[in-house]
Amino acid sequence: MLSVHPWEAVIDLSANPDTHTDLAIAGPDRSGSVDSDGRRLSELEAERHIGTVCFKTGPPGVLGTELEWLVCDESNPSAPVPFDRVNEILNRLKDAGSMPKAGLLTLEPGGQVELSSAPANDLASCVAAASEEMGVLRQAFAADGLTLTGHGLDLHRPPSRVLELPRYAAMEKFFDRRGPWGRLMMCSTASVQVCIDAGLDDRSASGYQFRWRLMHALGPVLVAAFANSPLREGKPTGWKCTRQLVWSRLDPYRTKAPNGAEPSWPVRAGPHQSDADPRQDLIGYAMDAEVLCLRKPDGQPWTVPSGLTFRDWLRGARLNGSALPGPTTDDLSYHLTTLFPPVRARGHLELRMIDQQPGDGWIIPVALVAALADDPVAADAAMAATEPVWCATRVPAQRRAEADEPGPWLRAARCGPSDPVIAKAVTACFAAADASLARSGAPKALRTAVTDFAERYPRRNRCPADDILDIVGTRNNGSGESRS
């Protein structure tokens, strides 16, 4: 077991430009990452730093989750909630030391609330701790007439940024270059993020290389199974997981998977057979991504002209005609926080593609991922189950893009488990997870929750989005309208 896990690192938000209060959040392990003398990095040093901090290897087993929630007024879910109400509740919780299991609270740019669990040594402990803290959080918001709503995308309200911080102002301007999608992502989305260990430094099913590829192979399966964002401003979008569509429209150099991460055919089960090196793939991904913002003294905007990659910065780029001082290790660490691939390597692996679920439904994806990742038998079964999803079209990614043909991610987002190939993979992964949970002696309540979800949704070619669409269809039919 790793002695220190990267999501255990705690940052005081009063000094962190990512946030707005003096709460604390989990973040990447930055031990020794700041150059005490402000020394500028060389390109080789930058590559070594990325490879070192992004994959911290050791026996897998530790688990965490980050739960994002849309905040709604219980009496009028379509109305915007004043930021002061949300901020006041979080400040009360912070002042009272009310999070009993050391969970950490943060706010997203649109006022979404996020609970990050402390790392747990097993699934049961993770779920128990996060459930207890969600009870505290829900009670605090309910006392003020607010609810924490579980959807991947705000069903009714347009995006509205409430955090006036230079990071988010620069991020908004950066993404505005590609249309409205950045504001939607920042202000209107919510997810269940699952954090697992990177794995061992070997080529077994517990090795970081296999786990890296497995989590990417599972991505479309998780998008489809837990799709829960079919509406935008009250109307069906034609997508079961509109949140995934939103992410697909953003800067692909910082939101899509690094080259080499997604499986190629044939996908092999069992020990990892690829010669691809995730560290090298991620180094290229990070170095060639555009710089989203440049931190500057108080009062100055952090925006950056388009086209400046981190590699350009290292090689002596000029900004507005003047030489730009080269980046330090701290600048590189900050740059890594502005990359949002579906599986983010932060020492551990952070899965970011799952829509938030209603009520306690977040437990299901956490249990599913933990069971498939940490049981080698289940991991092999899951990798085999995903192969048809990736082989349904044997057209390489570049040619798919040129032909405007959706790949596995967008097929999963549009169709959910109504796609028969995806449905078969989802059902097989749930079966493998159930068998794993039985072998590990997981609590009966957890197993029952997973099997009940499988019976209610994937075995019927459904996902939570279909429940929402059923309600919309009933309402529209009752008023003489047809659902699109």
Mean pLDDT value of segment 157-172: 96
pLDDT at 28 > cutoff 80: no
Of 119-128, 167-176, 297-306, the range with the lowest mean pLDDT is 297-306
Q: How far is 212 from 1, CA to CA, in rounded Å?
A: 18
pLDDT at 239 > cutoff 50: yes
Supply the pLDDT for residue 156: 95
Backbone angles phi, psi at 153, to 5 degrees: -145, 140
pLDDT at 454 > cutoff 80: yes
pLDDT at 25 > cutoff 80: no
- Where residue 323 falls among pLDDT bands split at 50, 70, 90? confident
Burial class (CB in 10 A: 0-12, 13-18, 19+), 386: buried
Quick: pLDDT tens for 79-138: 999 999 999 999 999 876 778 999 999 999 999 999 999 999 999 999 999 999 999 999
76: Cβ contacts below 8 Å, ≥ 6 apart: none
- Where residue 398 falls among pLDDT bands split at 50, 70, 90? low
226: helix, strand or coil: coil
Supply the pLDDT for residue 22: 26
pLDDT at 17 > cutoff 50: no
pLDDT at 319 > cutoff 50: yes
Q: Which candidate, 479, 69, 476, places its Cα nearest to that of 236?
A: 476
DSSP one-letter string for 440-470 = HT--HHHHHHHHHHHHHTGGGT--HHHHHHH
Quick: pLDDT tens for 197-229: 999 999 999 999 999 999 999 999 999 999 999
**pTM (2 d.p.):** 0.89
Supply the pLDDT for residue 265: 60
Q: Cβ–Cβ contacts within 10 Å for residue 96, how many?
A: 10
Say what percent of the chain tops pLDDT 70.
85
- Where residue 154 falls among pLDDT bands split at 50, 70, 90? very high
Supply the pLDDT for residue 263: 86
Residue, of 189 and 317, whose pLDDT is higher? 189
Quick: pLDDT tens for 262-293: 987 654 544 455 667 899 999 999 999 999 99
Which overall architecture, per CATH, does domain 6-478 show?
Answer: 2-Layer Sandwich (3.30)
Q: For residue 152, give both structure tokens.
A: 């991947």
DSSP-derived letter for residue 81 is P
Mean pLDDT value of segment 398-402: 50
- Where residue 396 falls among pLDDT bands split at 50, 70, 90? low
